[in-house]
Amino acid sequence: MPQGIPPHATDRLDDDDYPAYTMGRAAEMIGATPGFLRAIGEARLITPLRSEGGHRRYSRYQLRIAARARELVDGGTPIEAACRIVILEDQLEEALRLNAELRRPVADAGS
């Protein structure tokens, strides 16, 4: 490990929710513009954290959400509709995960 970097600092690199990316880097990573990231923030699809200096910082999870919205917008979906679709997809995925988790003990008890 490089000198001067505390061991716990590298743990953040594996954290999907750690706001590691600046707006410029985030936009570059998903093939969008900073304006697109601002627009999906205004539509409340994602809410970037702010650095001490007030700059937006994005996590890998937020970038995956933003990339999905960009795909929909690139396909002709209006940005507001794309944001709503992504939110609903995310909610459905979470509901299905919870449903499967809640059914697991019932299935195990019946064996």
Residue 56: its H or E element: strand 56-58
For 22, the enclosing helix (H) or strand (E) is strand 21-22
Strand partners for 49: 57
pLDDT in tens, 92-102: 999 999 999 99
Which residues, 6 or more positions from 1, have their beta carbon under 8 angstroms from its beta carbon?
A: 7, 10
Q: Which two tokens stand for residue 87?
A: 């939110």
pTM over 0.85: no
Instruction: Please say whether the beta carbons of 66 and 32 come within 8 A.
Output: yes
pLDDT of residue 1: 47
Residue 33's pLDDT is 96
Cβ 70 vs Cβ 35: under 8 Å: no
Instruction: Dump pLDDT digits (tens) for 33-71.
Output: 999 999 999 999 999 999 899 999 999 999 999 999 999
| 12 backbone φψ class: left, alpha, beta (φ>0; ψ -120 to 50) | alpha
